[in-house]
Structure 1
Amino acid sequence: MLTLSGVTKRYPTGDRALTDIELTLPKGQVMALIGPSGAGKSTLIRCVNRLVEPTQGSIRLEETEITRLSGNALRQARRSMGMIFQEYALVDRLTVMENVLSGRLGYVGFWRSFLRRYPQDAVTEAFRLLERVGLPHAIDKRADALSGGQRQRVGIARALLQSPKLLLVDEPTASLDPKTSRQIMRLIRELCAERGLAAIINIHDVTLAQQFADRIVGLRAGEIVFDGLPSELTSEILTTIYGEEDWDTTPEPMDDDVSDDSISHPPYAREVPGLAAGGAR
């Protein structure tokens, strides 16, 4: 589905963030990128959707050569790649629903997006996605009133509203507590399985990567030094990726059956004030 061949990113200073990356990601596979800070994980993800321009190499999503696109063709290709950000990238003054609907900006014209008027099918799907990610009660809340876990769920729903073929996930748990981190990773995994989505997840937490990814790729200094199953990630391989450490010491597992929101919420009304067919409040 996604193929990277000889992808290199070199900065004007001569420093290399990535060197000759070769990867193939099949449909439906959840792949975790691990490695120390500065290893090139975020750069690799951003090269895929061309937020960072690779210096050389080929990036192909199905039959589309991403590295050759520009202008409108690139914008259309980005519709197929949903991005979930570490810092959520929400507009704080907008409501949860408005932030989710912004996932359709690549499909609607300028004036409709400016006026925040979206087709009814997009509004209906946004309702459904917010219920699926556990936020039916928060539809009309401002984004800046949400917890970190809730904000990340909004980001996930927004990415899925694009109807992507591929999810690019950049450190989704970096700002979250351990329990919420597990819940967010589980949610991403479940949604990928439900929709047949492939995903590349840049993540620092090796334990979470082992629990929720089908495959792990280890980067060090911009090069792939490991590519295999989570069960193959031995302490020796972790030393190759990160350097010397006591990798056999692991924390006790924690109970995460409870939602990251300890308070209960009233049922939400399907009718949101100010949101009608063809528009978002």
Structure 2
Amino acid sequence: MIELGTLPSTVLEVARLNKRYPTGDLALRDVDLRIGRGEVVALIGPSGAGKSTLIRCVNRLVQPTSGSVRLDGTEVTDLGSASLRRARRRMGMIFQEYALIERLTVMENALSGRLGYVGFWRSWFRRFPTTDVAEAFTLLIRVGLSDMANKRADALSGGQRQRVGIVRALMQRPELLLVDEPTASLDPKTSRQIMRLILELCTERGLAAIINIHDVALARQFAQRIVGLRAGVIVFDGPPNSLDAAALTAIYGDEDWTATLGHGGKVAEDEHRSAVPEVERLAGLA
């Protein structure tokens, strides 16, 4: 596991980022954030805090009003359309609502992650290189969907759809994963499985990830670092074990946080520690 303070390099640097919508609402205010290569960061905060806006400003699905977003040294905010398409290949996006093409098969949805790399006619006729097909099938095996490659996406459960979305993002061979509420539509068991899978894959591939998530317990269990947003401002940035009652109050407002930080919080912290060697073993790092 990569420890904070010993990250080998910065893959994403956000500086003084602001986003004001045409309504006048200020969604992000002077946000500064650095993500190291291989670092998994959970982004938490109340609804409307700016979490999704921040993720979408990074890949410019939302255009920032001002500020800087640098991906491995490349200034994303200055890129023209062609250069931006190339930069987006390096940022895999995993959506809350899966964003699959329902009438296509699992394999076809997975291969759509290569659309930025193949020519127009090959993508139009869905004629992908055999190496891409082999890679997609290997990933489907990794996420437990090898027997569903030819099923239509609309025949899948929520957890299965999210796994296809993960494979599609990884097919881009990204440096950074942007993950927007991956567990919002899932039951508790499936939510834990999906978060564990994302952590394992990031560890195996040395990927950085920003995960926008509402579930504080899941964030504490699976992330290496937690960033808390409130009203578009970062009010907390630290390791999971530093997320105490004062920090939660700063992020969400006054509340009795005993249930969150009592026995349940201790269990989450212990499980996070116990998950580390297992994830490293699976990645061949231990």
User: TM-score, normalized by length of structure 2?
Assistant: 0.87
Q: Does 1:7 align with 2:24?
A: no
Q: Quick one: distance in 1 between partners of 2:166 and 2:66? A: 31
Q: Does 1:238 align with 2:256?
A: no
Question: Higher helix fraction: Structure 1 or Structure 2?
Answer: 2
Q: Does 1:27 align with 2:37?
A: yes
Corresponding letter in the other structure for 1:105:
L
Q: Does 1:188 align with 2:187?
A: no
Once the two structures are superposed, what CA deviation does each residue of 1:102-148 show, in whole Å capped at 9, x if it has no partner?
Answer: 00000012111111110111000000000001111110000000000
Tell me what 2:277 maps to. Answer: none
Partner secondary structure for residue 129 of structure 1: helix
Tell me what 1:200 maps to. Answer: 210
Corresponding letter in the other structure for 2:113:
G
Tell me what 2:78 maps to. Answer: 68
Corresponding letter in the other structure for 2:195:
M
Tell me what 2:275 maps to. Answer: none
Q: Does 1:58 align with 2:34?
A: no
Tell me what 1:40 maps to. Answer: 50
Question: Which shows bigger deviation, 192-201 or 107-116?
Answer: 107-116
| Partner residue of 1:130 out of 136, 140, 155 | 140
Partner secondary structure for residue 259 of structure 2: coil
Tell me how large the CA RMSD over aligned residues is: 1.4
Q: Quick one: distance in 2 between partners of 1:108 and 1:8? A: 35
Tell me what 2:236 maps to. Answer: 226
Once the two structures are superposed, what CA deviation does each residue of 1:195-233 show, in whole Å capped at 9, x if it has no partner?
Answer: 000000000000000000000000000000000010000
Question: Which shows bigger deviation, 19-28 or 7-16?
Answer: 7-16
Q: 1:11, CA displacement in angstroms?
A: 1.1
Q: 1:244, CA displacement in angstroms?
A: 1.8
Corresponding letter in the other structure for 1:24:
R
Once the two structures are superposed, what CA deviation does each residue of 1:155-207 show, in whole Å capped at 9, x if it has no partner?
Answer: 00000000000000000000000000000000000000000000000000000
Q: Quick one: distance in 1 between partners of 2:187 and 2:163? A: 14
Task: Please list, as runs of the form range in 1=range in 2, the aligned pairs for 1:95-110 lying within 5 A after superposition.
Answer: 95-110=105-120
Corresponding letter in the other structure for 2:14:
L
Any gaps of 5 or more consecutive residues in structure 2? 1-10, 269-286
Q: Quick one: distance in 2 between partners of 1:144 and 1:16? A: 37
Task: Please list, as runs of the form range in 1=range in 2, the aligned pairs for 1:143-158 lying within 5 A after superposition.
Answer: 143-158=153-168
Corresponding letter in the other structure for 2:177:
L
Q: Quick one: distance in 2 between partners of 1:117 and 1:77? A: 24
Any gaps of 5 or more consecutive residues in structure 1? 255-281
Q: 1:13, CA displacement in angstroms?
A: 2.0
Moved over 6 A (4+): none
Q: Quick one: distance in 2 between partners of 1:191 and 1:40? A: 26
Q: Quick one: distance in 2 between partners of 1:164 and 1:117? A: 22
Tell me what 1:81 maps to. Answer: 91
Q: Quick one: distance in 1 between partners of 2:44 and 2:142? A: 28
Tell me what 1:142 maps to. Answer: 152
User: TM-score, normalized by length of structure 1?
Assistant: 0.89
Q: Does 1:162 align with 2:186?
A: no
Corresponding letter in the other structure for 2:215:
D
